[in-house]
Structure 1
Amino acid sequence: MIFQRYPAALAVHLALLSLPAAALAQTAPAAPADKPLAKEAPAKQDKITTVEVKGAASSYDARRDDTASKTVLSAEEIRKYGDDNIYDVLKRAPGVTVSGKTLRMRGLGAGYTQILVNGDRPPPGFNMDTLTPDQIERIEIIRAASAEYSMQAIAGTINIVLKKVTSKAQHDLRVSAFRSQESRNFGGGGTWADKKDQLSYFLNFYLYGGDNAFTSRTFEQFALPSGEVTQARRAAYDGSGSYRGAVLYPRLSWKFENGDELNASVGIQSNRNTWGGVSHTDNLVGSFASPDYVENLQSSPGGMTGMQGEVGWIAKLAGGKLDLKVSAERNRNYNDSLNDMYTVGRAQRLLRDWDTVDRGHRTSLRGKYTRSLFDGHALTAGLDASVQESEQTRDRHEQLNQAAPTYFVETFAPKLTRLAGFAQDEWSIDKQLSVYLGARWEGVRTDSEANSPETGMLKTSSRSHVLSPVAQTLYKFPGDSGRQLRLALTRTYKAPTIDQLTARRWEAAVNTRFDADSSGNPDLRPELANGIDITYEHFLKDGAMFSASVSRRAITDYIRTRLDLDANGRWVYRPINDGDALVRSLQLEAKTPGKLLGEAFKDLDLRASFSRNWSHVAAVPGPGNTLDGQTPMSATLGVDYRKGDLAVGSSLAWQKGGWVRISEAQSQLQQTRRDLDAYVLYKFNPRYQLRVSANNILGMDNPSDRLYQDAAGTSRETGFQPGSVRVGANLEMKF
């Protein structure tokens, strides 16, 4: 199938068949991982002194050639700005926006955008903050779902592929330091990889640490319908902390004479952090709910240790390829949260010391079988199964005034069992037309036990399953025009989280509309979405391209979080299924090397993207009744300059904000952001290079504004967190 789609690959393959085995092992480029393998012919023993082959692998472009739409960020693009976290990398990616530490496609996060690591959901306790660009081989941005991955991707999928085995020696070391008014961060890591005969190994490590400060100011008031303010207060919070951590990823691979391959990898990560802060509230008008704790001294040291292991077997079987992986993960998270709270004049005191330990583990099996069948068909079938369990224990020590301390052990033990099977066929009908058909069935069972002083002992169980068909097609216009058209029809879903499905309740120390209790709902059903994507792409010479994409998602059983008063007069958040929602989007992207614009711009590369998103929640009155606080509009603009040993670049990421209606009574303001970043890279020689970068050059702050309005009046809370420029330096060395 691959040779029919890429004639150049066929020519190179035929040339390779005539090479001696030794030359073939040294020079043959790796075929794309998701393409079926062709049968090998016996090599001749003719003597050839030097052979250099270039073709199939270098000409393959996943975005241009795969039937399923995919944008791939290479390792060079990922490391270009010297970022030390994945969020800064992806905020410059086309079609992706970042809100805090939430990644969004089509302006949607919170489970609508699926985040995968090596094609799988991250293990329990996995912290995206520990995922540094140095560990990443590529990032795949998949707009329309495919059966091979989970269909929990209503907005799309971001698949982060970590570095694995290298075909040549790689010995490098990188050290970095970053600083802003609020933080000081440092890191150092390296890669040691090589290949000897049939064995190849890869070792990546990273050490990091830093100190952060956090400051916020909030103002809250309640006004009667007449406009009279009956409650008003302002609060100030100042906190600081430090963190340290290490990440280690070794991997081994052994290739057998018959072409089979055995892979084994281990991941170890550990971090420790401390945090302390003081909040103080001044009541300006009236009084608030009793007890009204206006002063809070807090500290929360914690940490995490996690280990994961995977064994994979790739074998030729019955004319196809079997890829089987077994993995297991374990982690331990702990946190010691101490709060010393006082009412006005220190009339009442609450000492709350909660020690929490969360032990999680997961075992999973993934297998797929790929084979070329009939003329131009590549068939794949697979199975995914996993069992994830968590054991959370919280020792709650509390003391009110001078009363005897109380002690309670709160437990929470959820178990998540997943089973999925899929089948797909990618059919190259001719050079212009290819079709992808697939279906995936996924079933999920969630069981949990919780024991707390608020609700006592509770056991809940829920089951759900979804059958998701998907169809995609790619049509390339005749000739060498570079124009092509894509169409995708999908059925995706968003499953409720474990916290949403359990009946466990968390109570806030000071219960207000803006700091409410929270509880789950075991009767939640998954959200289902029927989608269509249409994309036009035009690939020009020298890497220039333009694309335009429109999409629509019709969602049923929409899950929203409702704020209510319970029988005891406390505000509580509860998730419910509440009707339908509709999502639409438009995305434009363009890239061009400067030389196409004229000789004066030959050292420049230009890129730009624009996204416009719309959504409508039927159960919430407008205006502003968008889904998940959807980012309505975003754009990126970037330029890179390269000449000799010097490279300079800059990128502007813009997000439009505005008021969002969450319910009949709740609204919140989303911030409009303009993030300007820049870098300078100088190569001293082939072994040493220095990269200097700056983030948030415009010094954007982080304001917030929330409203709750009903017949009784209007509650409003405004907040402010300062931001500043963050500068950094990376020294990269090769040995």
Structure 2
Amino acid sequence: MPSLPCPAGARAPRPSRLALALVLAFASPALLAQQAAVPADPAAKPADAARPASAAKPGNLTLDTVQITGGQRSEVDARRLSTAPKTVIGRDEINQFGDSNVGDVLRRLPGVTLGGPPGRPGGDVRMRGLGNGYTMVLINGERIPPGFSIDTLSPEQIERIEIMKAPTAEFGTRAIAGVINIVLREALNLSSTEVKLETSVEHGRFSPRASLTRNDRFGDGNAYNFSTSVFHSDQLTETSTRTQTFDTASGALLADRNETARSIGERQGLHLGSRVQWRLAGGDQFVLMPFLFALRGTTDTRSQLTQPLGTAPYATSHTDGDNSDANGRISAQWQHRLNDDGARLQLDLSLGGSENRNKAARDEFGANGSQSRTLDTDNRSTDRTINNKGKVSLPLESGHSLVAGWEVERAKRGQTKTSVENGVSQLAGFGTETDSTIRTLAGWAQDEWEFSPAWSAYAGLRWEQIATTSRTAGSQSDNTSSVWSPLFHVAWKPDESTRDQVRLSLTRSYKAPQLGQLSGLPTLSVRPNDPSNADSVGNPDLKPELATGIDLAYEHYIGRRGVTSIGFFQRRITDLIRSVTSFGSVPWSDTPRWFTRPENVGDAVTRGIELEARASTDELWTGATPVNLKASVSFYRSHVDGIPGPDNRLDQQPKAQGSLSADGKVAGLPLTLGSGVTWTPVTVVQTSPTQESRSGTKIGVDVFGVWAFTPASQLRLAASNVSGRDYLSGGSIVAASGITQTTSTTQRTNPVVSVRWELKI
């Protein structure tokens, strides 16, 4: 880890000031000079000392105790009063940049990045730079449904986002990198209607969107919330890919291929979400939460391939794609008061289902225009899920709060894959259908203990078992894994006259194999099979990745809304899962083919340092114009045993990432302006002794302006991905056959400009 020098003759800064200095250095050197002279806020008071030790703490570990009413004060308090490390993002920040999908909101949050090119939705959500599967994403405390893409959620449907850098027993421990819990809109005891009409334009293509949110009361103390949005998306994707093949021994170039592709994609979608809340006799409560999402999309892709050296497999290609996705879930929750001392019982039941279909027809043509190859693929999947969970909360004496619960889930998936090349089925002798069942059992208990105004601790234990059965072509494979996860969190306030605190977490977490990684039904490459376009197939014998972790952080609170923090984390992982590319005989083909297969390859370690600062200038300097400043920067290191360095890192993990934003109202005008930037440097990963992957620098620059005509009506103008940088990606593989193949893809990205009218009735 790099050292942080201190100038000669100067005292080493406090950790909180050091974090603020490092992070806000991106914003303004003048801020740093004045920050050192900022006096302690005389209005700050030790709020914790005035709160009884046994009182419920807002923003703590259980969903039903979280009551965020909006505004930065409540969100900062929720963070400060939680024993486990937690950050709460409220509606003000969610709506700040006028994003059209929740993915754009997430990528600006500290320590969170998205895969894929900048300015485009659809990338997997990553915390601490770790790739798909290491971050547990929840919606209302439940794992996201199979096949559900998080970027399809509309920000208008979200009440708040909770980020937990270390797992807890209640939410689950499939969270080596951390937990992101997206809480949908809540029913409030007020009547309001919000309407938003928007259109965005990217490279001359328009994408309109409209949303409606309604909140009202009915009966005696009952309330409901209803939100819906519809959208149409029209996007152009342009890529250029160069593939080179070398003789490994001599380095001689054997083949050089360049392909340019132009794809037009259109999507139409509908979201419906609601929360209906009944207050029952005796303080009980019943909540019903239905959710529905539907999407339909088409793509038209045309490419040209030139190969000055070697024989080209085709000269041009044309691919028509058609996909549809429907996802629905209904959840019910009953909260029952057991006694007058605060003991409660909560029962949850949810039913969900989804259907997904992807069809593609690809035609390839030779240089003379004659058709050389046709390929038709059709992939369909249906998922059905039932989940039951419950918990009992018992406030005890001496500041203890004991919570215990269970979870039972059964998910069933049916999947069909067909691939017909030149009129011949490629899977005819292997099988095209698979049925899978996943059964999850979990039991957990946690005790949160506030034994003095300066100390609070949390101890938890969770046991979870996942059993998977998959049937393909008359064969059956079974996989069962179970994990015990002890968890410990402690928060210490060194000085009771301030709100500063130190956090320590010791945890055990894991990453379960995904269903597709266990399935024996292969996915065939749509392009001519080679090392860069390999088939993929699962491995039913995979074991889960286990991780032991430590998190240590120092937080310094400034005034009512500001906070700076510096933190360190480490995870030691065993049974790491990696996809390995090989060439050989496969059951689904009469000839050897290139294919990738996940395997447990060994152990790994990842560690990092994270810096964050949030402050308002009027709380830093008396009389300053209020400007909200948010910044973060993180540095990551990792290595995988058994793979040569120097880039033997965990998949997709960059060495660093950062973000910076500023916004505020213009004095004398009903105008709010803001801007933000996110940054991820070049990432090179040696995934195996013979394979390497690479992705280029990602810089996202966003700006917005909001003009308020009345308190209930305003116009928003925003631009995202202003820099419009090309996105680079690629990799290389050294094959046992004596060749080395490298690929390099450049994808053009464009600025996106949007205009939105927002009305409250």
Q: Which residue of 2 aligns with 1:309?
A: 330
The question of 1:535 aligning with 2:558 is answered no
Task: State the 1:122 CA deviation.
Answer: 1.0
- The 2-side partners of 1:422 and 1:304 are apart by 34
| Secondary structure in structure 1 of the residue aligned to 2:651 | helix
Q: Which residue of 1 aligns with 2:10?
A: none
2:577 to 540, 559, 562: 559
- The 2-side partners of 1:37 and 1:715 are apart by 54
Q: Specify whether residues 390 and 729 from structure 1 end up closer, same or farther in structure 2 by C-alpha distance, changes over 3 A only.
A: same
Task: State the 1:396 CA deviation.
Answer: 4.6
Count of aligned pairs: 691
Q: Which residue of 2 aligns with 1:234?
A: 258
Q: Which residue of 2 aligns with 1:696?
A: 721
2:79 to 36, 59, 63: 63
- The 2-side partners of 1:495 and 1:302 are apart by 28
Q: Which residue of 2 aligns with 1:113?
A: 135
The question of 1:673 aligning with 2:698 is answered yes
The question of 1:212 aligning with 2:238 is answered no
Task: State the 1:356 CA deviation.
Answer: 3.2
Q: Specify whether residues 731 and 151 from structure 1 end up closer, same or farther in structure 2 by C-alpha distance, changes over 3 A only.
A: same
Task: State the 1:614 CA deviation.
Answer: 0.4
Task: State the 1:37 CA deviation.
Answer: 9.8
2:495 to 478, 484, 507: 478
Task: State the 1:687 CA deviation.
Answer: 1.0
Q: Which residue of 2 aligns with 1:330?
A: 353
* Contact 2:409-2:440 at 8 Å conserved across structures: yes
- The 2-side partners of 1:540 and 1:241 are apart by 47
* Contact 2:49-2:496 at 8 Å conserved across structures: no
Q: Specify whether residues 528 and 54 from structure 1 end up closer, same or farther in structure 2 by C-alpha distance, changes over 3 A only.
A: closer
Task: State the 1:279 CA deviation.
Answer: 2.2
2:510 to 489, 493, 511: 493
* Contact 2:681-2:697 at 8 Å conserved across structures: yes
The question of 1:522 aligning with 2:540 is answered yes
Task: State the 1:31 CA deviation.
Answer: 6.3
Task: State the 1:244 CA deviation.
Answer: 0.9
Between 590-599 and 233-242, report the one with greater CA deviation.
590-599
| Secondary structure in structure 2 of the residue aligned to 1:94 | coil
Task: State the 1:347 CA deviation.
Answer: 6.5
Task: State the 1:713 CA deviation.
Answer: 4.2
Q: Which residue of 1 aligns with 2:288?
A: 264
Q: Specify whether residues 376 and 59 from structure 1 end up closer, same or farther in structure 2 by C-alpha distance, changes over 3 A only.
A: farther
- The 2-side partners of 1:329 and 1:228 are apart by 56
Q: Specify whether residues 360 and 242 from structure 1 end up closer, same or farther in structure 2 by C-alpha distance, changes over 3 A only.
A: same
| Secondary structure in structure 2 of the residue aligned to 1:153 | coil
Between 699-708 and 368-377, report the one with greater CA deviation.
699-708
The question of 1:176 aligning with 2:198 is answered yes
Report the residue type matching 1:153 in the other structure: A
Q: Specify whether residues 144 and 182 from structure 1 end up closer, same or farther in structure 2 by C-alpha distance, changes over 3 A only.
A: farther
1:646 to 646, 651, 671: 671
Task: State the 1:716 CA deviation.
Answer: 1.4
* Contact 2:49-2:453 at 8 Å conserved across structures: no
- The 1-side partners of 2:677 and 2:64 are apart by 42
Q: Deviations over 1:663-706 (max 9, x none)?
A: 11111222112211111111111110111111111112111231
Report the residue type matching 1:63 in the other structure: R
Coordinate RMSD, CA, aligned: 2.6
Task: State the 1:120 CA deviation.
Answer: 1.0
Q: Which residue of 1 aligns with 2:89?
A: 73
Q: Specify whether residues 405 and 595 from structure 1 end up closer, same or farther in structure 2 by C-alpha distance, changes over 3 A only.
A: closer
| Secondary structure in structure 2 of the residue aligned to 1:125 | coil
- The 2-side partners of 1:714 and 1:34 are apart by 51
Q: Which residue of 2 aligns with 1:99?
A: 115
Q: Deviations over 1:178-237 (max 9, x none)?
A: 111174322111111111323211111111112111111111111224332111111121
Q: Deviations over 1:357-379 (max 9, x none)?
A: 32211000011111101210010
* Contact 1:198-1:256 at 8 Å conserved across structures: no
- The 1-side partners of 2:704 and 2:412 are apart by 43
Between 462-471 and 195-204, report the one with greater CA deviation.
195-204
Q: Which residue of 1 aligns with 2:749?
A: 723
Report the residue type matching 1:562 in the other structure: V
Task: State the 1:270 CA deviation.
Answer: 1.2
| Secondary structure in structure 2 of the residue aligned to 1:258 | helix
Q: Which residue of 2 aligns with 1:464?
A: 481
| Secondary structure in structure 2 of the residue aligned to 1:470 | strand
Between 191-200 and 387-396, report the one with greater CA deviation.
387-396
Superposition map of 1:504-515 within 5 A: 504-509=521-526, 510-515=528-533
| Secondary structure in structure 1 of the residue aligned to 2:688 | coil
Task: State the 1:349 CA deviation.
Answer: 3.1
Instruction: Indicate the percent of aligned positions where both proteins have the same amino acid.
Output: 32
Task: State the 1:58 CA deviation.
Answer: 5.1
The question of 1:706 aligning with 2:736 is answered no
- The 1-side partners of 2:618 and 2:721 are apart by 30
Report the residue type matching 1:315 in the other structure: H
* Contact 1:280-1:296 at 8 Å conserved across structures: yes
Q: Specify whether residues 414 and 182 from structure 1 end up closer, same or farther in structure 2 by C-alpha distance, changes over 3 A only.
A: farther
Q: Deviations over 1:116-153 (max 9, x none)?
A: 11111111232223201111101111001111112010
Q: Deviations over 1:52-78 (max 9, x none)?
A: x999x9598121011011011111101
* Contact 1:216-1:720 at 8 Å conserved across structures: yes
The question of 1:592 aligning with 2:615 is answered yes
Superposition map of 1:197-208 within 5 A: 197-208=220-231
- The 2-side partners of 1:681 and 1:543 are apart by 22
Q: Which residue of 2 aligns with 1:137?
A: 159
- The 2-side partners of 1:581 and 1:445 are apart by 25
1:255 to 257, 260, 279: 279
* Contact 2:159-2:185 at 8 Å conserved across structures: yes
* Contact 1:182-1:213 at 8 Å conserved across structures: no
Q: Which has the higher contact order (CA 8 A, sep 6+)?
A: 2
Q: Specify whether residues 507 and 484 from structure 1 end up closer, same or farther in structure 2 by C-alpha distance, changes over 3 A only.
A: same
* Contact 1:507-1:516 at 8 Å conserved across structures: yes
| Secondary structure in structure 2 of the residue aligned to 1:609 | strand
Q: Which residue of 2 aligns with 1:617?
A: 640
- The 2-side partners of 1:68 and 1:210 are apart by 40
* Contact 2:284-2:337 at 8 Å conserved across structures: yes
Q: Which residue of 2 aligns with 1:454?
A: none
Q: Specify whether residues 59 and 594 from structure 1 end up closer, same or farther in structure 2 by C-alpha distance, changes over 3 A only.
A: closer
Superposition map of 1:355-370 within 5 A: 355-370=378-393
Q: Specify whether residues 329 and 35 from structure 1 end up closer, same or farther in structure 2 by C-alpha distance, changes over 3 A only.
A: closer
Task: State the 1:251 CA deviation.
Answer: 2.3
The question of 1:411 aligning with 2:411 is answered no
* Contact 2:494-2:501 at 8 Å conserved across structures: yes
- The 2-side partners of 1:462 and 1:36 are apart by 32
* Contact 1:397-1:407 at 8 Å conserved across structures: no
* Contact 1:235-1:279 at 8 Å conserved across structures: yes
* Contact 1:338-1:352 at 8 Å conserved across structures: yes
| Secondary structure in structure 2 of the residue aligned to 1:542 | coil
- The 1-side partners of 2:112 and 2:60 are apart by 25
- The 1-side partners of 2:729 and 2:202 are apart by 22
- The 1-side partners of 2:227 and 2:440 are apart by 31
Q: Specify whether residues 406 and 443 from structure 1 end up closer, same or farther in structure 2 by C-alpha distance, changes over 3 A only.
A: closer
* Contact 2:455-2:490 at 8 Å conserved across structures: yes
Report the residue type matching 1:374 in the other structure: E
Superposition map of 1:295-444 within 5 A: 295-318=316-339, 319=341, 320-343=343-366, 345=368, 349-400=372-423, 410-444=432-466
Task: State the 1:488 CA deviation.
Answer: 0.3
- The 1-side partners of 2:321 and 2:75 are apart by 53
